[in-house]
Amino acid sequence: MMENVFLVTGASRGIGAATAALAADAGYRVVRASRSAEESVGDRGWDAKCDVSSFDSVQELMSRVESRWGRIDVVFANAGVSVDTSFVSSAGAKPSEWTDMVVTNVCGPAFTARAAMPALIRSGGHLVVTGSAAGRGVRPGNLYSATKWAVTGLAQAIRAEAVGTGVRVTVVQPGLVDTDAIPASRVGDPKLAPEDVGRAVLYAVSQPSTVDVNEILIRPTGQAAHR
């Protein structure tokens, strides 16, 4: 019997790395995909180079994993980037630097879903997408927040289309997480550990096949709802 396979994008650090480790502890074979990965394949772990801003790159990875390990059961579309933005001043990143964030954060999970869905339909699998609590309310001048609004809508659109296929779809929306992407203005705020988000992901995928956890909102204790 083939063992279940859990694929994580953006797995080189933070939420992705923590979730990959938890998935391995839970008994999955784990594919850790990232732009910076050095290709290395073992019996239970696979570090795979993949750029989610390229559909061809993601599709090629799904094909390789299914060919080598026979199946894909969980895909965690987690890769994302953040830059500071303003629409009324020159503060933050220049507009020429915004494109990579939008493509990675919005097209990335869309490309990942499209590339993974044939394998997930075959396995009756689960797609999980990283959104953000920032995508649930207005953040002045914040294009990152807008990309996460888009991710929430994307997850809902995928789930609606996947009805009848057996594939479950979850969007996980963390509050502030202790990673290297924390804005300087929020260094002292309450934070989740990456493993806290990883446990939420594992909770969703560990439910019986008759249960589809559509959305998880998780904040650190003490974080204000508007932050």
Region 2-22 average pLDDT = 96
Cα–Cα separations (whole angstroms), residue 92 to 22, 95, 98, 141: 35, 9, 10, 10
Six token digits for residue 71: 């199946």
pLDDT digits (tens, 9 = 90+) for 38-63: 999 888 999 999 999 999 999 999 99
Region 197-210 average pLDDT = 97
The CATH number of 5-218 is 3.40.50.720
Question: Where are the chain's structural domains?
Answer: 5-218
pLDDT at site 224: 79
pLDDT digits (tens, 9 = 90+) for 140-182: 999 999 999 999 999 999 999 999 999 999 999 999 998 876 6
Sheet containing 40-41, strands listed edge to edge, beginning at the edge strand earlier in sequence: 40-41, 45-49, 29-34, 5-9, 74-77, 126-130, 168-174, 215-218
In sequence order, the 6+-apart residues with CB closer than 8 A to the CB of 55 are 111, 114, 115
Please give the positions annotated as active site: 144
Percent of the chain surpassing pLDDT 70: 96
- Residue 171 contacts residue 215 (beta carbons within 8 Å): yes
Six token digits for residue 196: 């806290």
pLDDT exceeds cutoff 70 at 77: yes
| Confidence at 206, pLDDT banded by 50, 70, 90 | very high
In 163-209, the DSSP E strands lie at 168-174
Q: Which of 159, 151, 145, 136 is nearest to 214 (CA)?
A: 159
